[in-house]
Chain A
Amino acid sequence: MKKLIGRILIALSACIICIAAIVIGMFYFNFISSKIYDDSTGHLREIYAQVNRSFGAFVERNWGLIDGWGRYIVVTEHKDTSDGEISDLIKEEKKYWGFSDFYFLSSDKECMTIEGEKNNTDLSEVWDCLSAGEGPVMAGASMSDGKDVTVFAVPVEHGKYKDFGYDAIGVSYTNEDMVKSLKVSAFSGEAMCFVIHNDGKVLLSTQKGGNVFDNYLTYLKAASDISDDEFEQIRKDWDNGKSGLLQCYIGDVDYCILYLPVGYQGYMMLSAVPQSAISAGLISVQHTTTGVLVAIFLLLSAAAITVVVIRSYKQSRKNKMELQYRELMFDVLSNSVDDIFIMLDHKTVSVDYISPNIERLIGIPAKEARKNIRVMEKCAVNFDVVIPKEELDEIPLNGNKCWECEYMHQNTGERRWYRMTVYHMSIQNIEKYIIVLSDRTLDKQMNKQLEDALTAARSANEAKSNFLSNMSHDIRTPMNAIVGFSVLLEKDADKADKVREYTRKITASSHYLLSLINDILDMNKIESGKTSLNIDTFSLPELLEELNIILLPQVKAKHQEFRMHVVGSPPEQITGDKLRLNQILINLLSNAVKYTPNGGNISFDVSTVTPSSNQYVKLKFVVKDNGIGISDEFKEHIFAPFSREVSSVTNKIQGTGLGMAITKNLVDLMGGIIEVESEPGKGSTFTVELTFVCPENDESDSWLENNISRMLVADDEEQVCLNIRELMSDFGVDVDMALNGAEAVEKTVAAHENGKDFDVILLDLKMPGTDGVETAKMIRQKVSSKVPILVLTSNDWTEIEDCARQAGIDAFMAKPFFVSSFRHTIKPLFYDASANNTVGEKEDNSADNVKDVMKGRLFLIVEDNEINSEILSEMLKIEGASSELAVNGQEAVDMFLRSEPGHYDMIFMDVQMPVMNGYDATRKIRASEHPEAKTIPIAAMTANTFDEDVRDALESGMNAHLGKPIDMTAVKELVGKLLGEKEK
């Protein structure tokens, strides 16, 4: 407000100064003009008074001369030589005075020049004056050549010249010469001077170009703005021989008219000078003075304006710079934060400012957004209109309103959450909307993380609770059995049947408890990332055979149909972790058995997944059952730890809920995939795909070496026959097919009769009509040759083995068909045709050998736990061995060092013990001077069963690792192996 008043005062002062300057200027101008006029007219009067005097003197002089010449002529005209003398005189005078002609004038208006030429000039006007008796006269005349002249004449006594009678004499001057005396160089040569008779008739004129005025008074009246009164006054003045001065316009030109009486015959001298010419000099001074004053005023004004402008410019520049710096600072600031700032015009809602970070944050270039704010709609996620105009209008001045909004980055798709606050502001009555989009993304993300974490924590807690609950239940259940049957055992110790029954149940519960603990530990190990794979080459047929062996008792117990198929020709030798693969497949197959009711069907298919290469093979294991199935809800977290579907059926089935989680983790660990398809009540299908390395095939061409080039396969499943044909064709063995027993017999007989006996006959055990055993029997009856006959079956053949061998079957093979198994099975038959051993028999022999190994051996048991040491000691006793006990590592070392070489056959070393642990004790033993320090077999016998425990044990110098609880079979095998090696 103060500034405004100040500005008004300054403007007012400037106006007053300007008005004062104009008034003073005008006053000065008028004063100067008036002064100039007075001075100019005074100047004019002076000049023309002087001209008039000169002209008068000229007239007087001429009249005087003429009068003198007249007297002389009168005196001399009576002489004889008078004409000549007069002529000479006048000619001399003419040369001297410069007149153009000398005239003798007669009363009859004729004239003669001094040369005697008559009437060459019209002197009628001169005579008119002379006859009027005015004495000496001055009048205008025209010569015959048209030239205008002025004649001065004086009446003289009548005389004669060259016989021309005259009454007056005169001289003439050309008007051109006459006007020279009237011209003045003053007034820029623009002054006109006239000698005019008082009736207006122009005698002489100095007008440039010549005189065109016949009567100047007439012209003046017609051409000027002189009023009738003024004109009348002029006439009076002229009649009375008075001088005068007047100002008038002739045409567009302002003239100053001065008239002066010449003093003769009513002649007036009139000068007409343009006012501009009169005042030219003074006007120039006036203009210069005025110009200087105006210039000074303008300079001062300019200086003042310049100062104001410079100050204003500086201020404006400063303001502009400040504004630019602020904008720069704001840009920098906005670039370093994730908030967006926008300023909109209140009326047009056009963008006045938008922070440049908009492009970084939501992918819209600021330039584009400046053109049209609505481009932000492209990125808006949760609302249609970026700036709802209706809602903007509702915001009162100086008020604000908030919205929550979400934008998605146009290029990256990144989402951002903002709190949009719109302020309705006004500065100097210009209203704006200032919009601040405050970034809430971090808050949002943090909240989400917290929510997720909370959910996870809740889930974990819930899982933990469930786990503890499950564990409590699952551990307590076998423990209850163990404790309960232990009590019963004590009670019925004298009843052998009861003891065996209780012992069996305690053993079963113990195994279950052990598997539960193993699973938990396994799960923990996998989850903690401590599980590593033991990669080695193994036989796929062997693995499948082992699976078959493991699974068959369970299947048989539930009267289920189990079928194992190998589709295609997967490599028999693959490199991978056999143990973990076995674990995966057992889990899946055990579950299939568990959750398939009695009499159900379970199939296990193994196939290669194309494409495979020579180096790698991807195997697909499909376990399919028609069991209870899995609900869709449970399918989603079937692989989560401790997850078990709750139903009336599953509740009756023991399980930790860890099996599938372990399976999934192991599959992941092996870089494979596991999928499940299931429908409640209809069964489930688990598919596992795993990739294995294929080792180089070093199989020699053993088939041709053994003269096996033709064989017969009989199986009611044609696909099985075809598979075998395909597999064997790679080795050059022709395979003839029979889809039933009768056909097999027929083909064998035919071949025999043609002298082309089959080298081997492979029969499926279960065939419709004639089964494998019966078929073999018929072949043996009809064909005398000793062709080996093998039975291929997916069932346990132990029950029919004796009967089959009697029927002529030489060996048994488990389905599916593998070339290696086939080779392995058939090899003994060709090496020793008389031999009738089977694989099973070999295994039995091996078991007997192990049993013999234990007898009479002395073992050093290093165990701090009394129960464990007692159990082991008793078990060894059962096996015919004896033992000594050391309760810690140090004691074991001491006992070993004190012993004679060969005293101990082997040491079972616990790991975690007081005084000295098993590792250190082993190192001490190995490092000792005892003769058997390096050779005595030491096996770790510990509850630490992880891989690293095995590794640590081996690194400390132990020969093997046995996990607790003690499995005597494993112990016996290990002892046999280690002592065998030692003895070798």
Chain B
Amino acid sequence: MKKLLSLFIVFAVVFSFSACGVGEDDEYDENSLTIMGKKSDLAKSYMTEIFERYKKTAGKNINIISIEDSEYEVEAERRFSEGNIPDIFMHFNNADLNRFDTEDNFCYLNDEKWVDDLTDSAKAYCTDSDGNLLGLPYWESSVSGCYYNKKIFSELGLKPATNQAEFDVLCDALKSIGYTPICWPADGCSWMVQFGLDPVFADDPSILEKINRNEIKYADIPQVNDMVRWIADAADKGWFGNKYLETGMEDISTVMSSGEAAMIFIWDTWFYTDLQKDGKYSVDDFALMPVFMNTAENGTYEGGNLNMMMVNKNSDKKQEALEFLEFCASSDNYNAAFDGISTVSCFKGQTTNIQSHMVTEASMSLAEYERVSTAATRVVGYSAEEVCSSLNKLFKKEISVSKCIELMDEYRIKEARAQGIENF
């Protein structure tokens, strides 16, 4: 009887463990590569396509470990702590990646053949602070910048700004005519501030290091002060319109498609996925110029966040994994995988993907002023929502600029402490 009970318990434990959001290929093959990623990520068409092509072309199987998105970080951390690291691990190059000890666990890929085919922005995204390429970017991406209604600009005889001063003049000119110069959905502006902060941390990595070591705070960084003060002034001058405090993410489509606002800080794919189709203005009426938030004289673009495939340097199948990455980085394969996918190119030879005319038209400017997404991904404890909350208090005149920055710091440090980051 005791034996039967023990068996039942073991069975129950095993069953519950296997059912806790972790999905592994039914045909798990110990001799095959193991790749682990979020369930939704692995379900992307270009990912399934490349897996199929690899299976077909190389005649090898792949063990796919698909984890529920909400449990991914916890499960991955558990596995890494147990030494149960997959051959290929998928993750964005952000602050959370620090948990997985990249130096000890992953191969540096600087010398791989396919590296030269990577676009600069993609390469930059996948590189750590020491210049080591951590993974192969294999992901759809977009460009964040200041998208303006070129039709309105043309009707008004205006042209896009090339520097912060011009941008400010532009805003004044638009405001004087009666347009809302910038659509600022304060009730959900979580992504916007990071555009302004990117140049601060991307252009001077030492600032990033110091803030992540808790040696300095936002308040100690002049550019952060400049940015917050500019945002406050812009709001005061009416550049965000009259209803920006009540405007949320769900409202911006109407605002932009109706022509109520002339500019918005957003990413290109939004126009294809969210912009109202039956509005006065369509995606064709928009163009891209850099974001000006008083942190970069000539403005800035934020490059896309890319999911990388990293190779377990301690795996028995390390070589096979590197070969898989090479397979993926082949122009035939990535063009096949990303055929018809609307994204910014990660590879220079990428031709089958669909790139927005806005990005294409601004390619020269992008080449010069695009920066890797840094603030949101690399600053420890950064929380777009908390920054947004601090700014909203500033907009409501509940706090001063300095207090707003102080609050942003408080939230950041609190989050870092919650994550158990050293020095916080």
- The interface of chain A, by Cβ under 8 A from chain B, is 146, 200, 207-223, 250-253
Contact = CB atoms under 8 A, between A and B. Distances in A.
B162 A251 contact: no
B173 A223 contact: yes
Given A209-B165, A209-B166, A209-B168, A214 B159 contact: yes
A-B CB proximity, top 10 nearest: A251-B176, A209-B165, A218-B157, A219-B157, A215-B157, A210-B166, A214-B159, A209-B169, A223-B177, A212-B170
Given A219-B173, A251-B175, A251-B177, A213 B158 contact: yes
B142 to A, nearest CB: 24
Contacts of B168: 209
A219 B158 contact: yes
A212 B176 contact: no
Interface in B168-223: 168-170, 173, 175-177
Contact of B176 (A210, A211, A253): A253
A202 to B, nearest CB: 8
A214 B158 contact: yes
B177 A222 contact: yes
Interface residues of B, number: 20
A210 B164 CA distance: 9
B158 A252 contact: no
A893 B169 CA distance: 157
Nearest to A222: B156
Contacts of B175: 251
B173 A212 contact: yes
B158 A212 contact: yes
Given A214-B154, A219-B156, A223-B173, 9 more contacts: A208-B165, A209-B168, A210-B165, A212-B166, A212-B169, A214-B158, A219-B158, A223-B156, A223-B177
B177 A208 contact: no
B167 to A, nearest CB: 8
Given A212-B161, A222-B177, A253-B176, A207 B155 contact: no
A210 B157 contact: no
Interface in B266-303: none
Taking each of A211, A216, A220, A252, which has the highest tally of chain B beta carbons within 10 Å of its own beta carbon? A211
A207 B169 CA distance: 9
B155 A222 contact: yes
A174 B161 CA distance: 17
26 contacts: A200-B157, A207-B169, A208-B165, A209-B165, A210-B161, A210-B163, A210-B169, A211-B159, A211-B166, A212-B160, A212-B166, A212-B173, A213-B158, A214-B154, A214-B157, A214-B159, A218-B155, A218-B156, A218-B157, A219-B157, A219-B158, A222-B155, A223-B173, A223-B176, A251-B175, A251-B177
B153 interface: yes
Given A214-B154, A218-B155, A208 B169 contact: yes
A209 B160 CA distance: 13
Nearest to B166: A210
Contact of A250 (B163, B165, B170, B176): B176
Taking each of B153, B156, B159, B163, which has the highest tally of chain A beta carbons within 10 Å of its own beta carbon? B156
A148 to B, nearest CB: 9
A213 B158 CA distance: 4
A211 B158 CA distance: 9
Given A209-B168, A219-B173, A251-B175, A146 B162 contact: yes
B157 A213 contact: yes
Contacts of B154: 214, 218
Contacts of B162: 146, 210
A214 B166 contact: no
A212 B173 CA distance: 9
Interface string B393-424: 00000000000000000000000000000000
B176 to A, nearest CB: 3
Contacts of A218: 154-157
A208 B169 CA distance: 8
B371 to A, nearest CB: 18
Contacts of A216: 157
Contacts of B165: 208-210
Nearest to B160: A212
B155 A212 contact: no
A140 to B, nearest CB: 12
Contacts of B161: 210, 212
B164 to A, nearest CB: 8
A253 B176 CA distance: 9
A217 B157 contact: yes
Contacts of B155: 218, 222
Nearest to A200: B157
A220 B161 CA distance: 18
A223 B181 CA distance: 14
Contacts of B169: 207-210, 212
B146 to A, nearest CB: 13
Interface in B141-157: 153-157
Contact of A222 (B157, B159, B166): B157
A141 to B, nearest CB: 15
B177 A213 contact: no
Contacts of A210: 161-163, 165-166, 169
A212 B177 CA distance: 14
A223 B175 CA distance: 10
Interface in B114-128: none
Contacts of A253: 176
A220 B173 CA distance: 10
A252 B157 contact: no
Contacts of A207: 169
A677 B368 CA distance: 141
A221 B160 CA distance: 19
Nearest to A147: B162
A214 B153 contact: yes
Contacts of A251: 175-177
Contacts of B158: 212-214, 219
B159 A213 contact: yes
Nearest to B172: A251
Contacts of B153: 214
A215 B159 CA distance: 9
Contacts of A213: 157-159, 173
A213 B173 CA distance: 9
Nearest to B168: A209
A335 B157 CA distance: 95
Taking each of A215, A217, A223, which has the highest tally of chain B beta carbons within 10 Å of its own beta carbon? A223
A214 B176 CA distance: 17
Nearest to B156: A222
Contacts of B177: 222-223, 251
B90 to A, nearest CB: 39
B296 to A, nearest CB: 15
Nearest to B158: A212
Nearest to A212: B170
Nearest to B170: A212
A37 to B, nearest CB: 23
Contacts of A208: 165, 169
A255 to B, nearest CB: 10
Contacts of A212: 158-161, 166, 169-170, 173
Contacts of A223: 156, 173, 176-177
B365 to A, nearest CB: 8
B15 to A, nearest CB: 64
Contacts of A220: 157
B45 to A, nearest CB: 38
Contacts of A217: 157
A221 B158 CA distance: 12
Taking each of B160, B161, B165, B176, which has the highest tally of chain A beta carbons within 10 Å of its own beta carbon? B176
A751 to B, nearest CB: 129
Contacts of A200: 157
A295 to B, nearest CB: 35
Interface in B240-270: none
Contact of A252 (B166, B173, B176): B176
A215 B173 CA distance: 13
Contacts of A222: 155-157, 177
